[in-house]
């Protein structure tokens, strides 16, 4: 029995991500037997109008409501208008009470804050004041804070109302099927476990270029930028997944502890080893400040001071309006010195595509059939959707399901976030000058120097 309260239910994030993910769980039969979703917002929206808006969101972003249990799904949608804050709960308390009468008085409350981070403190305080915090699970979107100081302040405010066990800080990159595949490939296969260290890995590239612009979320993005929106969140978390020591188990406490422990080993980023950029035309977008200095691109070299990774650069890159959209983690293996002379660099690569259902690629050199000893590059690919009986869930669906069952393994903890903010602080305090780059390019040419003496595997 669950009452799922979606704050910001008519906003962009809810429409694009949360509502489609929830409907996917309904299609897959992964929702509780009894549940009701209550949307919340400032407007005065009837239950029927909200259902129509949800249907429109599904028609635009999928899964299409013509498929699956739409009629039964729609019956369980409610809307509570009038906003929600410490001064007034609007109609939310009444609607929740009606929902509990329908599904059961002991229904699990789940609050999903699909709102800008600036709204987190007031909503959290309001949950406590109006009696909606006790025993509830509360999902916070990223970024959890906008600076080291704001993170600590927000963390205190949240813990003033909620126990840590109630808090689910979501980072949807941790919900990706291929991110979890990193665990299986590494820990379940001796072949890969043996090479997962500085002796065999020359560098690691975590590359998330995007062709998208920011027009649909201009005001949010202009107050955030690539460093806060992607680097200190998604890219750092994926780096931790790659770099962590083997956990005692894959249970939530052990997996979280291993991830957070290695983030504490992240060396603070040297601004001299980072490149910021802003695509040409960014300031012409409606909602962007005319003199905005917000970065839409960041590339940085991260060092991890652990025995396993000492001296191995982790190259992190992301940006908007770039030449291609990819989400790729690549372990570049060291080039053997003997007996083949002058082997090409970066020819042995174990790569994970995080996009969609994911894919694992192994690039290597093989002898070209014939009488000569010529070598040719070859790649073996495993699309994860092709694995027998594969039934992957989109990342938001997977993470919302984990919230519903109370599994915190793929959610971040405050100790890891504190270390992540410490690692990014020099870049926030002394950012390098932002460089303009052409839309459709691979970003500022200066970023090539970060990968020297070799190159970024994608594009350049």
- Residue ranges of the binding site for NADP(+): 8-15, 42, 142
- Contact assessment for residue 396 and residue 18, using Cβ atoms and an 8 Å cutoff: yes
* Marked catalytic residue, from 130, 234, 401, 454: 234
Tokens representing 69 are 């249990």
- Contact assessment for residue 32 and residue 404, using Cβ atoms and an 8 Å cutoff: yes
- Contact assessment for residue 107 and residue 137, using Cβ atoms and an 8 Å cutoff: no
Known binding-site positions: 8-15, 42, 142, 172, 176, 210, 229, 320
Q: Give the 3-state secondary structure of residue 369.
A: coil
Radius of gyration of the chain measured on its C-alpha atoms: 23
Q: What phi and psi, each to the nearest 5 degrees, are found at residue 332?
A: -90, 115
Distances from the Cα of 330 to the Cαs of 170, 239, 377, in angstroms?
A: 24, 11, 16
- Contact assessment for residue 144 and residue 151, using Cβ atoms and an 8 Å cutoff: yes
Half-sphere exposure of 170 (CA within 13 A, CB side): 26
Q: Give Cβ neighbours of residue 310 (< 8 Å, ≥ 6 apart).
A: 198, 304
CB burial of residue 423 (10 Å; 0-12, 13-18, 19+)? buried
234 is catalytic: yes
Handedness of CA 137, 141, 142, 144 (dihedral sign): negative
SS (H, E, C) 288-322: CCCCCCCCCEEEEEECECCCCCCCCCEEEEEECCE
Tokens representing 312 are 């191995």
- Contact assessment for residue 80 and residue 92, using Cβ atoms and an 8 Å cutoff: yes
Comparing CA positions, the residue from 387, 357, 392 lying closest to residue 24 is 392
- Contact assessment for residue 459 and residue 292, using Cβ atoms and an 8 Å cutoff: no
> What DSSP state is assigned to residue 284?
G
The strand order across the sheet containing 435-437 reads: 375-383, 359-367, 349-353, 328-333, 201-209, 314-319, 297-302, 274-279, 435-437
Known binding-site positions for substrate: 172, 176, 210, 229, 320
Tokens representing 210 are 């995007």
Handedness of CA 221, 225, 226, 231 (dihedral sign): negative
Tokens representing 456 are 């970024």
Cα(239)–Cα(262) distance, rounded to whole angstroms? Answer: 9
Residues serving a catalytic function are: 234
């Amino acid at each position: 029995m669950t009452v799922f309260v979606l704050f910001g239910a008519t906003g962009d994030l809810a429409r694009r991500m949360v509502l489609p993910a929830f409907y996917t769980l309904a299609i897959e039969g992964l929702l509780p037997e009894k549940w009701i979703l209550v949307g919340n917002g400032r407007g005065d929206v009837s239950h029927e109008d909200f259902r129509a808006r949800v249907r429109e969101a599904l028609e635009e972003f999928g899964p299409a409501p013509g498929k699956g249990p739409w009629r039964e799904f729609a019956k369980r949608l409610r809307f509570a208008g009038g906003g929600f804050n410490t001064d007034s709960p609007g109609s939310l308390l009444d609607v929740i009470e009606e929902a509990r009468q329908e599904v059961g008085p002991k229904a699990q409350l789940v609050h999903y804050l699909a709102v800008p981070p600036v709204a987190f403190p007031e909503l959290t305080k309001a949950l406590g004041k109006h009696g909606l915090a006790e025993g509830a699970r509360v999902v916070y979107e990223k970024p959890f804070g906008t600076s080291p100081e704001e993170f600590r302040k927000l963390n205190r405010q949240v813990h003033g109302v909620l126990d840590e066990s109630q808090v689910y800080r979501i980072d949807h990159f941790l919900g990706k099927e291929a991110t979890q595949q990193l665990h299986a490939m590494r820990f379940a296969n001796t072949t890969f476990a043996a090479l997962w260290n500085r002796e065999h890995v020359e560098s690691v590239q975590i590359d998330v270029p995007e062709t998208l612009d920011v027009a649909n979320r201009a005001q949010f993005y202009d107050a955030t930028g690539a460093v806060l929106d992607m680097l200190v969140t998604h890219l750092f978390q994926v780096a931790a997944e790659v770099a962590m020591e083997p956990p005692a188990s894959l249970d939530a406490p052990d997996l979280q502890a291993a991830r957070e422990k290695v983030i504490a080993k992240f060396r603070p980023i040297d601004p001299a080893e980072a490149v910021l950029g802003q695509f040409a035309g960014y300031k012409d977008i409606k909602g962007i400040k005319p003199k905005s200095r917000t970065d839409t691109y960041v590339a940085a070299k991260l060092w991890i001071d652990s025995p396993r990774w000492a001296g191995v650069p982790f190259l992190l890159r992301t940006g908007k309006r770039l030449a291609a959209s990819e989400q790729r983690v690549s372990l570049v293996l060291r080039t053997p010195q003997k007996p083949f002379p002058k082997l090409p660099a970066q020819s042995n690569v174990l790569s994970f595509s995080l996009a969609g259902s994911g894919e694992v690629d192994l690039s290597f050199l093989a002898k070209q059939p014939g009488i000569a000893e010529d070598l040719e590059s070859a790649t073996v690919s495993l699309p994860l959707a092709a694995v027998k009986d594969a039934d992957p869930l989109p990342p938001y669906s997977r993470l919302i399901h984990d919230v519903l069952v109370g599994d915190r393994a793929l959610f971040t903890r405050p100790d890891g976030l504190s270390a992540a903010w410490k690692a990014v602080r020099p870049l926030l305090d002394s950012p390098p000058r932002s460089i303009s780059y052409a839309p459709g390019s691979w970003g500022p040419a200066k970023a090539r120097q970060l990968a020297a003496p070799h190159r970024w595997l994608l594009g350049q």
